[in-house]
């Protein structure tokens, strides 16, 4: 049984504890419990966890606690890979700022905003900057941000920085800071491309890994549906008659497929939002605004577009196309069943997806095998039943051959006789197995 943990047990200032109380946080989450004490000791850190685990406040709480309010310098820097993620983090920073008794400032430094106006505002340095790599680097190079005063830096969603090709800009930013700057890297996975970067900038880091509950059957149900030459849109429409999702995220692997599927769903009468990397900034801004105002019940998305997007209330995830690897599947389904709520992941699969499904089962995911027939959920044969049947058949064959008497003297037709004998033994073995099964 887990003992209840309390924020009061950490070395936090009264003002910080007051802010935590006003935020409505009763007990620290697992990642908060493990990160906060280490961050307060100014340790370098690699934090691995999925979204929805309280990761943002795991680093915001100690950062806020360490601000020297007397100093008018940039002391804390948070770097995020996308504007949307930076904006979300900044919203949380502003909440903390609004609830605090102390006077301190924070600024959002991202592209797509008036650069000159922002530069003027930075003449009075904020205590915290939240920004994207390119714009932060620009301002450092132009002298609008002084990196030498920063005493702790957070790199959030670091694996996405690799995917988007932004790690070099982050490298340039960190290169301009003090060697002893506290560096905290948060990433759901640690891809190979990130490792040289970690070795370069993190001296003796604490590696904190939180095993997510996304694999937990009590919290998240994983359903498999064989595609069988049907259009995914057709199955989603059928499923929508049986479930009423609060919000359903529908994943595909390419932006062209996202547009195509969204059109097919619209043609079938489902109003759907679509988000992928090919959207123009203005269009993307509009879609995000509509997502937050809960205009759409169904949202078609690609993996890169959905990473770092906090879409609250996702009750269902559909994999209209299975992803290419285990980690991406776990990212996708981790968008639902967040913060202790239940969720359902429904995946459409084809023959080429069977190896991935097997790898996911090896990771502890239990799949339920269903289809939708005549407007109802129907349990169907397990995805690997044919494989299992073949395996059983091979085992019986092998066992039967072992029991065939080897003849010392070979007579004409001996091969045929041995084969017949093997078939008889195999039949008997099958009968015995059947009887055993009935007795259980």
pLDDT in tens, 293-348: 788 889 999 887 777 666 777 889 999 999 988 878 887 887 776 655 678 899 99
CA nearest to 319, candidates 328, 311, 309: 328
Q: How many residues does the chain have?
A: 440
Do 184 and 291 share a structural domain?
A: no
Do 143 and 258 share a structural domain?
A: no
Predicted confidence at residue 16, as pLDDT, reads: 92
Predicted confidence at residue 400, as pLDDT, reads: 64
**What CATH number is associated with residue 63?**
3.40.50.300
Predicted confidence at residue 224, as pLDDT, reads: 93
**DSSP bridge partners of 183:** 153
- pLDDT-based confidence at residue 389 (cuts at 50, 70, 90): low
Strands 45-48 and 182-186: parallel
Position 412 pLDDT exceeds 90: no
Task: Give the mean model confidence (pLDDT) for residues 344-359.
Answer: 91
In a domain, 389, yes or no: no
If one compares 157 and 416, the residue with the highest pLDDT of the two is 157
Q: Reduce the DSSP state of residue 370 to 3 states and report it.
A: strand
Position 251 pLDDT exceeds 90: yes
Task: Give the mean model confidence (pLDDT) for residues 281-297.
Answer: 82
In a domain, 391, yes or no: no
Do 316 and 281 share a structural domain?
A: yes
Do 131 and 26 share a structural domain?
A: yes
> Comparing 22-26, 275-279, 416-420, which segment has the lowest mean pLDDT?
416-420
Do 172 and 69 share a structural domain?
A: yes
Do 315 and 364 share a structural domain?
A: yes
In a domain, 25, yes or no: yes
105-150 pLDDT, tens digit each: 899 999 877 888 888 888 899 999 999 999 999 999 999 999 999 9
Position 414 pLDDT exceeds 70: no
**DSSP bridge partners of 171:** none
392: DSSP letter = H
Instruction: Measure the CA–CA gap between 245 and 344, rounded to whole angstroms.
Output: 10
Predicted confidence at residue 141, as pLDDT, reads: 93
Last residue of a domain, one of 209, 243, 275: 209
Position 427 pLDDT exceeds 50: yes
195-217 pLDDT, tens digit each: 888 888 888 888 888 765 445 54
Task: Give the mean model confidence (pLDDT) for residues 38-54.
Answer: 83
User: Is the separation of the CB atoms in 254 and 304 below 8 Å?
Assistant: no
Instruction: Measure the CA–CA gap between 96 and 101, rounded to whole angstroms.
Output: 10
Position 77 pLDDT exceeds 90: yes
Do 116 and 234 share a structural domain?
A: no
Predicted confidence at residue 440, as pLDDT, reads: 46
> Comparing 29-43, 153-167, 335-349, which segment has the lowest mean pLDDT?
335-349
Do 225 and 200 share a structural domain?
A: no
Q: What is the mean pLDDT of the chain?
A: 83
Instruction: Measure the CA–CA gap between 40 and 31, rounded to whole angstroms.
Output: 14
Q: Reduce the DSSP state of residue 434 to 3 states and report it.
A: helix
Last residue of a domain, one of 178, 209, 240: 209
Q: What's the number of domains the chain is made of?
A: 3
User: Is the separation of the CB atoms in 240 and 375 below 8 Å?
Assistant: no
Do 159 and 124 share a structural domain?
A: yes
Helices (H), 299-413: 303-306, 326-333, 354-362, 385-403
Position 386 pLDDT exceeds 50: yes
Do 227 and 361 share a structural domain?
A: yes
In a domain, 289, yes or no: yes
DSSP string spanning 219-267?
TEEEEEEE-TT--HHHHHHHHHHH---SEEEEE-SSHHHHHHHHHHHHH
Task: Give the mean model confidence (pLDDT) for residues 46-62.
Answer: 83
If one compares 428 and 371, the residue with the highest pLDDT of the two is 371
Instruction: Measure the CA–CA gap between 381 and 371, rounded to whole angstroms.
Output: 10
In a domain, 416, yes or no: yes
Predicted confidence at residue 37, as pLDDT, reads: 93
**Distance of alpha carbon 219 from its chain centroid, rounded?**
15
If one compares 160 and 92, the residue with the highest pLDDT of the two is 92
If one compares 165 and 33, the residue with the highest pLDDT of the two is 33
- pLDDT-based confidence at residue 392 (cuts at 50, 70, 90): low
CA nearest to 182, candidates 38, 11, 43, 12: 43
Last residue of a domain, one of 191, 209, 227: 209
- pLDDT-based confidence at residue 393 (cuts at 50, 70, 90): low
Token digits for 334? 């981790």
Do 250 and 205 share a structural domain?
A: no
Identify the domain containing residue 342 by its residue range: 213-379
Predicted confidence at residue 160, as pLDDT, reads: 81
- pLDDT-based confidence at residue 1 (cuts at 50, 70, 90): very low
Residues 6 or more apart from 251 whose CB is under 8 A from it?
A: 300, 301, 302, 303, 306, 317, 318, 319, 320, 321, 323, 332
Predicted confidence at residue 76, as pLDDT, reads: 95
Do 355 and 261 share a structural domain?
A: yes
CB atoms within 10 A of CB 258: 26
Predicted confidence at residue 214, as pLDDT, reads: 47
- pLDDT-based confidence at residue 439 (cuts at 50, 70, 90): very low
If one compares 440 and 55, the residue with the highest pLDDT of the two is 55
**DSSP bridge partners of 65:** none
User: Is the separation of the CB atoms in 273 and 341 below 8 Å?
Assistant: no
């Amino acid at each position: 049984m887990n003992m209840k943990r309390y924020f009061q047990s950490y070395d936090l200032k009264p003002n910080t504890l007051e802010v935590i109380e006003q935020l409505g946080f009763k007990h620290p989450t697992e990642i908060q419990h493990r990160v906060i004490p280490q961050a307060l000791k100014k340790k370098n850190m690699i934090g691995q966890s999925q979204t929805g685990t309280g990761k943002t406040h795991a680093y915001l709480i100690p950062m806020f606690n360490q601000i020297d309010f007397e100093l008018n310098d940039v002391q804390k820097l948070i770097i995020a890979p996308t504007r949307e993620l930076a904006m979300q983090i900044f919203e949380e920073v502003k909440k903390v700022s609004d609830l605090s008794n102390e006077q301190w400032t924070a600024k959002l430094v991202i592209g797509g905003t008036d650069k000159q106006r922002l530069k003027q505002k930075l003449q009075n340095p904020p205590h915290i900057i939240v920004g994207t790599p390119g714009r932060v680097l620009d301002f450092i190079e132009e002298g609008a941000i002084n990196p030498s005063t920063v005493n702790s830096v957070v790199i959030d969603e670091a694996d996405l920085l690799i995917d988007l090709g932004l790690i070099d800009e982050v490298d340039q930013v960190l290169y301009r800071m003090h060697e002893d700057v506290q560096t905290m890297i948060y990433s759901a996975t640690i891809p190979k491309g990130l490792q040289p970067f970690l070795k370069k900038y993190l001296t003796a880091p604490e590696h904190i890994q939180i095993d997510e509950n996304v694999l937990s059957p009590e919290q998240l149900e994983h359903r498999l549906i064989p595609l069988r030459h049907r259009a995914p849109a057709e199955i989603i429409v059928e499923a929508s008659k049986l479930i009423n999702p609060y919000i359903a995220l529908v994943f595909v692997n390419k932006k062209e497929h996202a547009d195509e599927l969204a059109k097919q769903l619209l043609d079938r009468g489902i109003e759907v939002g679509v988000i992928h990397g090919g959207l123009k900034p203005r269009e993307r801004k509009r879609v995000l605004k509509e997502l937050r105002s809960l205009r759409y019940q169904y949202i078609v998305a690609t993996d890169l577009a959905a990473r770092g997007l906090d879409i609250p209330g996702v009750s269902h995830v559909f994999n209209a196309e299975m992803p290419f690897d285990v980690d991406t599947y776990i990212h996708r389904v981790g968008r639902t069943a967040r913060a202790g709520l239940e969720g359902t992941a429904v995946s459409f699969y084809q023959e080429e997806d069977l190896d991935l499904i097997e790898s996911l089962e090896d990771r502890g995911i239990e799949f339920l095998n269903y289809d939708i027939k005549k407007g109802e959920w129907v349990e169907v044969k397990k995805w690997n039943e044919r494989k299992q049947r073949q395996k059983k058949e091979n085992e019986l064959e092998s066992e039967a051959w072992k029991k065939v008497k080897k003849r010392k003297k070979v007579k004409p037709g001996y091969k045929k006789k041995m084969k017949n004998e093997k078939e008889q033994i195999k039949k008997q073995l099958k009968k015995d197995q059947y009887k055993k099964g009935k007795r259980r």
